[in-house]
Amino acid sequence: MAMTWFVTCHNAEGWNAVSRIRVFDSTPCFEEGIVLAALLGSLLVLSLVRVLTTCSQPQLNTRNSRWLLWAKLASLGISTMGSVGNLTIAIYLREDVAIFQTYILEPAALAMAVALTYFNHTRMRTSSSILLLFWPLYLAGLSIWVRTMVLTNQSDIQLLLSLKCITASFGFISFVIECLGPGRDSDPKNFHENPILTANIFSIWFFSWMTPLMQKGTAQFITEDDLPPLKSADESINLGNELNKSLKNQLSSFLNNFFLDSQSISTLWKALFVAYGGPYAVAAGLKIIQDVLAFLQPQLLRLLLMYISRYQMARFLPINDDQKPSILEGFSIAGIMFIASIVQTITLNQYFQRAYETGMRVRAGLVTAIYSKALVLSNDERTRSSGDIVNLMSVDATRLQDLCTYGLISISGPIQITLAFISLYNLLGWSAFVGVGIMIISIPINTSIARILKGLQEQQMKNRDKRTRLMSELLANIKSIKLYSWEYTFIRKILQTRNSQELKMLKKIGIVTACNSALWSGIPLLVAFCSFATAAITSSQPLTSDVIFPAISLFMLLQFPLAMFSQVTSNIIEAIVSVQRLSSFLTAEELQPHARKLEQSVELQFDDVVLTIKDADFSWSSQAIEPTLEAINLLVKKGELVAILGRVGAGKTSLLSAIIGDMTRREGQVIVRGSVAYASQNPWIMSATVRENILFSHEYEETFYNMVIDACALSQDIALFARGDLTEVGEKGITLSGGQRARIALARAVYARADLTLLDDCLSAVDSHVARHVFDNVIGPNGLLSRKARILVTNGIAFLKQFDNIIFIRRGIILESGTYEALVADPDREVSKLVKGHGTLSSSSGYSTPFTADPATPSDDVQDKSFSDSSIISEKLHRRTSFTKAKIAQDGRFQVHSVGLSKEHQERGQVKMHVYKQYILSASLVGFTFFLMATVAQQAMSVFATLTLRYWGEHNQMNGNNSGMFKYLLAYGLFSLSSSILGAISAILLWVHCTLRSARHLHDSMLDSLLRAPLSFFELTPTGRILNLFSRDIYVVDQILARVISGLSRTLAVCLSIAVVIGCSFPLFLIAVVPLGWFYTTVIKYYLATSRELKRLDAVSRSPIFEWFSESLSGLSTIRAFNQQLIFLATNHHRIDRNQICYLPSISVNRWLAIRLEFVGAMIILVTALLAVSALITTGVDAGLVGLVLSYALNTTSSLNWVVRSASEVEQNIVSVERILHQTEVEPEAPWEIPAMKPAEEWPTKGKVIFENYSTRYRPELDLVLKDVSVAIGAGEKIGVCGRTGAGKSSLLLALFRIIEPTEGAIYIDSIDITKIGLHDLRSAISIVPQSPDLFEGTIRDNIDPLGVYSDADIWVALEQVHLKEYIEGLSASLDSPVREGGSSLSSGQRQLLCFSRALLRKSKILVLDEATSAVDLDTDQAIQEIIHGPAFTDVTILTIAHRLNTIMDSNRVLVMDSGRISELDSPANLLANPQSTFYALSKEAGLAGSA
């Protein structure tokens, strides 16, 4: 041998691995020169490398752990000295030691280990893996060497052995101390850190670092604070950057490729692999090692059975003890089976951990990428609804995560199948390849099923998207749906999608999945049957126990990859569909990057140019033929105030969108210098505190903040809030009035102190005198922003005189531009006509009133600049020329602790039996019982088939041939066929019968309870939380729960069959069942206590990601305008990280459990094998019996683990049912219909409304908002309602519609108490035009008449009355023209007019107008006022809640509200005649007091 060139063997047996002299032993040269030398050489080299890499690192504090270091060094020193002593003896006995060089190598390696111990202890935070692995292996090698030395009976090596024992003993002591770790002082900075950073290799392998959390989980409920933080590499910002970088690299090579769509799909796959594939490749290697070890067990079983047969035969042969098989051989095979099982367990769980972690990284990276993309999505792509994009996050990203978990089985499966057939060939010869033929035939069947499943899944995703979109729209417009009583229409639309499309498809998917699983469970049985039959017929060798039982073990192992293959196939199909959808989104067109040139880091002086637009054309769509805005020229300087006027749909808002970069620039140039602030026409309010909404992640400067609050007339509103400006407002600011929302959005823009402030009709939602207050103190020449550039879109003409420049837009073209004086001087100018046509300059702008005790009275000349007395704010302004810009706060991101107005419901402890009971009842108790019976019967048939083989093997052993095989084959074949058929029946019962029923029942009952919930429920519950229930939780009920219940039932049946088979064959085993059963149930309780809470924390921490996402999507323009994309991304990262902190322990806890259960399984194998060998030596035992017992014992490891895992998966996923059931228990509002109290068909005939001592509150815990209101409104009377913010105007409206119920008193309409009739009867009898116009995705016809009860002629008449006929006739599809989600394809004014047309169509006797024309221009407003006061509404009772006081000057009477009570009620003329009246004060401020 090559080794003899430099290493000489001094033993007669030479280098052979196996000794020819001794039974079951190896040669001394092999042991010393190969085994021990390899271990010592590895230690020397690895220690040297490690010492060189660590010695340069800084020394860590070791004050507390110094004694540990000295103990380790002392132990290793003594061990090294013992080794040096051995070397001395070896030199003396040169010719008597087998390999002299090994005695030189040992002290050298141990000396290097001393150096490694020192540097590792002083510079690292965890034990040395090299030393921890070396000592157990070296001690095992030494024990084999010692046995050999003892067997050779050499008399002169006793001292050598003694010194070896000293070396080994002290080495073992150093190993034990090394296991304790460096034992360093706990650094306060690292007090709360990920325990894996300090865990040693055994702790990582056996997941012992999880034990403290498990102990805490059994003692108390786990909370987020108990969980370890993420490692830096797993933080979403780093994961997102990794994916982004690899995506850019991949896409750059395809940018010029015509087939970008097809390439982009493979690009995403590649990018994901480049970003996260490293640990996944390691997982693949571990999985392959585990597969090889799994197939080693049947070979070891065969060796043991052959050993038993040999030993039994030797017992009856006249031979010496030396020639008999060694007793140690049997025990060694049992030991090797145990070690192989342990190593297999470690590799399997390390593989799973890496696969799950990769899945988590993929999901986090994708969610980050989706969020980042959504922030830059172009308008062409905004046709995707927010529901679709949420689905990409909740479903598609999760599908790719699921693929990572089991995807490697697509590689591992074929390897396992190959190994199985190689092993089977060794057992059965060529007969095994009959099975290969069956496998090959089954592949095209599986492929065609996979193709069918893929098509079904693609269609199902579209169905789910459609339903999610409908749900998203329903939640966005819930207030309108309730006011118009359209619940049934929306229920019909959603159930049409759910029942006729989604559930129909689910049934098809269920049938195909059931057939697929039956096919794959049947194939191993068919393969086994055909292989045994062929072997029996063609082979002369009898099929005995040592062939049949290893073959059965192999067939059992074959069953797993084949059974999983169907699941993995469907996972891959789902993932391919998801990747297509994700690729389409991630490669979608983005906002034009150069739509504007932004120069941010400039220091601007007064009168410097801030905005320049030269000859620019803009369009919303890059594909549009005609531009939306054409030939725009605009120059705005710092300190300049610019007004933009125009009719509805002229392009006013579009111009602001062009400035903030939301539109596509086709020609010209746009230059913006400095920072931008923006207040949109529909105020965007976040689900956060009032202060957070105003600061918008800028630093809090108390003095300026208070000035902004005063200037925006918010002081009194904040004083009324329960917690002042720290009061949380609901999603979209749902708890605030329209005026409060507008002023908070304005305050946000003001607080930013940007160089350019864009205000889109922000004063339309507030009362006239507040508009003046805000204008004077914020926007006007003496306002807070007077030194900044301001552009105000307005439909009012009250303050035109104070603007530096006025722009009039018509059909996307700047028609007129100039100063007020220049434009008014020319009578042909549009601005001049507008001013003259609408009387005094102040008669128009209506706006919410601040809640002040003594309203400030303006000077008589309302056209002058401001209040007669200079306010404190103005004085401060004189002292400071211009306020410095607001700075972004250091931790600018929005706090995650903000959970909205209500915390998400979270159960604690074990899932109640009531939840399981409800689920089974909704799924059908009879169907579920039959499913369980079929599953148990399937397993029983499988057991009978196995027992048939055992008796056949015994028969062949006795006869020495395969005679009489046909009856055994027939019985085996029939039992196997029955098993497959029963499997198919149980799958179809579960998927088609039970799942469909539960899916329908749970979804429908949740939808029904949701729509019957009062409006206050929606104000308190974020949309994202409800959407999560209808997307993720319904998906679990539809497709995941059935799979995990099926898995649990099957594994329970398998465990039951194992216990029965082993118990019947080896009754002593039943004694062990009782303690084992107790241990398993204890472990399950121990594990579930922690696992359950972790899963709940994971579910609860996932909702805020969706909530934040939905919220961000609705405020994209504001986020982009303020240039805060990075801050919103940071908040998104923080929420994802919070979810990952909850998710990571929930996967590690499964590994912690699995490794312990599988260890017990390995112990069962060891004990069973040891008992078998002991019985063999003492009394003799039958190989067939041992084979049967051990082949099933080998299966216990995985089966018992799968039971606990499946039980846990069921409980974790049943949480979705628990959440759905909780939603169904929401307290409903009053019944929609009360048949016994149904009013007449034509009710109300007159429209007479009486409030009688009426009081109400929004929720039981809040104060009264209406107090003892009594008023009688005559039939056909026109009533105007006004008052300050918080006076109760909107509450009066909500009371009329019974959105809030009375605490005392009553409301009568035509003498009927409205609390006595159904809500639909009431709400369908009253018409309303709400302040916020809600539109739905669909056609214009659907939006005007969702119930489909009016003719086209009626609709056209209504549209003509609201001046929209011409516009809609001009659209390509007329009434069938599409309306985008939220009506985003129409301007705000057009949306309001469309809502007005609904009320005109209804022709009710009572009409409520809630500032119905705030977003329309003055000419359109005037025309609508004429219609309201015209003949069509002569006999209609009209209640107008007014912000523009001129709209109620023609009312019969005006009702003034104050603090929830009626303050004044009289005709406008009488109230104006009284200078002391509140109405007079309001009118005077609005410039109307003299016009009545």
State the Cα angle at 1223 between 1222 and 1225, rounded to 5°.
70
867-896 average pLDDT score? 53
pLDDT of residue 866 exceeding 70, the answer is no
**What's the CA gap between 847 and 742, in Å, rounded?**
10
185-202 average pLDDT score? 70
pLDDT of residue 150 exceeding 50, the answer is yes
Dihedral of the alpha carbons of 35, 38, 44, 45, in degrees to the nearest 10: -160
**What's the CA gap between 1116 and 1178, in Å, rounded?**
81
Q: What is the pLDDT of residue 156?
A: 65
**Mean pLDDT rounded to a whole number for the chain:** 82
- Contact yes or no for 1446/1426 (Cβ under 8 A): no
Listed residue (214, 96, 448) closest to 1091, CA to CA = 214
Higher pLDDT, 1186 or 1485: 1186
- Contact yes or no for 1082/1116 (Cβ under 8 A): no
Residue type at 633? N
Report CA torsion sign: 811, 815, 816, 817: positive
Q: What is the pLDDT of residue 75?
A: 92
3-state secondary structure 506-527: HHHHHHHHHHHHHHHHHHHHHH
Q: What is the pLDDT of residue 899?
A: 44
Q: What is the pLDDT of residue 883?
A: 63
Listed residue (910, 899, 1423, 896) closest to 1133, CA to CA = 896
Q: Using one digit for the tens of pLDDT, what is the confidence trace for 1177-1205?
A: 777 777 777 777 777 777 776 777 778 77
827-831 average pLDDT score? 83
Local confidence band at 781 (pLDDT 50, 70, 90 cut-offs): confident
1114-1128 average pLDDT score? 89
222-228 average pLDDT score? 86
* pTM confidence score: 0.73
User: How distant is the alpha carbon of residue 1335 from its chain centre?
Assistant: 28
Of the listed ranges 287-291, 675-679, 1123-1127, 1430-1434, the least confidently predicted one is: 1430-1434
Residues 6+ apart with CB under 8 A from 927: 989, 993, 994, 997
1217-1232 average pLDDT score? 86
Listed residue (1215, 801, 1293, 1211) closest to 1028, CA to CA = 1215
Listed residue (78, 75, 42, 82) closest to 180, CA to CA = 75
3-state DSSP call for residue 689?
Answer: strand
Q: What is the pLDDT of residue 1314?
A: 87
Burial of 1350 (0-12, 13-18, 19+ CB in 10 A): middle
Q: Using one digit for the tens of pLDDT, what is the confidence trace for 785-819?
A: 888 899 999 887 778 888 999 999 988 898 888 88
Q: What is the pLDDT of residue 854?
A: 34
Local confidence band at 1340 (pLDDT 50, 70, 90 cut-offs): confident
Residue 153, Ramachandran bin (φ over 0: left; ψ between -120 and 50: alpha; else beta):
left
Local confidence band at 855 (pLDDT 50, 70, 90 cut-offs): very low
Q: What is the pLDDT of residue 94?
A: 67
Looking at 376-431, list the stretches that DSSP marks H as alpha helix, in order from N- to C-terminal side.
386-391, 397-406, 409-428
CA distances from 331 to 150, 302, 335, 365, 1158 (A): 19, 14, 6, 51, 21
Of the listed ranges 1035-1039, 1071-1075, 1227-1231, 1487-1491, the least confidently predicted one is: 1487-1491
pLDDT of residue 256 exceeding 70, the answer is no
Q: What is the pLDDT of residue 917?
A: 86
Phi, psi at 1454, each rounded to 5°: -115, 130
Q: Residue for token digits 């410097």? A: 608
**What's the CA gap between 767 and 1445, in Å, rounded?**
8
Residue 14, Ramachandran bin (φ over 0: left; ψ between -120 and 50: alpha; else beta):
left
Q: What is the pLDDT of residue 265?
A: 64
Which H or E element spans position 703? Answer: helix 702-711
Local confidence band at 263 (pLDDT 50, 70, 90 cut-offs): low
Local confidence band at 382 (pLDDT 50, 70, 90 cut-offs): low
**What's the CA gap between 928 and 997, in Å, rounded?**
11
pLDDT of residue 262 exceeding 60, the answer is no
Local confidence band at 845 (pLDDT 50, 70, 90 cut-offs): very low
pLDDT of residue 443 exceeding 80, the answer is no
pLDDT of residue 844 exceeding 60, the answer is no
* Range with the largest mean pLDDT of 39-53, 202-216, 843-857: 39-53
Residues 6+ apart with CB under 8 A from 1125: 375, 376, 1119
pLDDT of residue 108 exceeding 90, the answer is yes
3-state DSSP call for residue 59?
Answer: coil
Higher pLDDT, 732 or 1126: 1126
Q: Using one digit for the tens of pLDDT, what is the confidence trace for 924-952?
A: 888 889 999 999 999 889 888 877 877 78
**What's the CA gap between 935 and 517, in Å, rounded?**
13
Local confidence band at 46 (pLDDT 50, 70, 90 cut-offs): very high
3-state DSSP call for residue 633?
Answer: strand
Which H or E element spans position 677? Answer: strand 676-679
Q: What is the pLDDT of residue 840?
A: 47
1247-1275 average pLDDT score? 86
- First-to-last alpha carbon distance for the chain, in angstroms, is 119
Q: Which residues sit opposite 1465 in a β-bridge?
A: 1455
Of the listed ranges 159-163, 554-558, 803-807, 1042-1046, the least confidently predicted one is: 554-558
- Contact yes or no for 1478/1458 (Cβ under 8 A): yes
**What's the CA gap between 18 and 612, in Å, rounded?**
91
Query: Tokens for 1074?
Result: 């009782």
**What's the CA gap between 1136 and 317, in Å, rounded?**
72
Helices (H), strands (E): how many in the chain?
49, 22
Q: What is the pLDDT of residue 670?
A: 92
Query: Tokens for 1479?
Result: 């109405």
Q: What is the pLDDT of residue 61?
A: 61
What percent of the chain has a predicted confidence (pLDDT) above 70? 90
Q: Using one digit for the tens of pLDDT, what is the confidence trace for 477-535?
A: 888 888 888 888 888 888 988 888 888 888 888 888 888 877 877 877 787 888 888 88
Q: Residue for token digits 């809600």? A: 1334
Q: What is the pLDDT of residue 1387?
A: 76
Local confidence band at 842 (pLDDT 50, 70, 90 cut-offs): very low
Q: Which residues sit opposite 18 in a β-bridge?
A: 26
**What's the CA gap between 255 and 267, in Å, rounded?**
11
**What's the CA gap between 857 and 919, in Å, rounded?**
66
**What's the CA gap between 476 and 651, in Å, rounded?**
25
Q: What is the pLDDT of residue 169?
A: 92
**What's the CA gap between 426 and 430, in Å, rounded?**
9
pLDDT of residue 41 exceeding 90, the answer is yes
Local confidence band at 750 (pLDDT 50, 70, 90 cut-offs): very high
Which H or E element spans position 809? Answer: strand 805-810
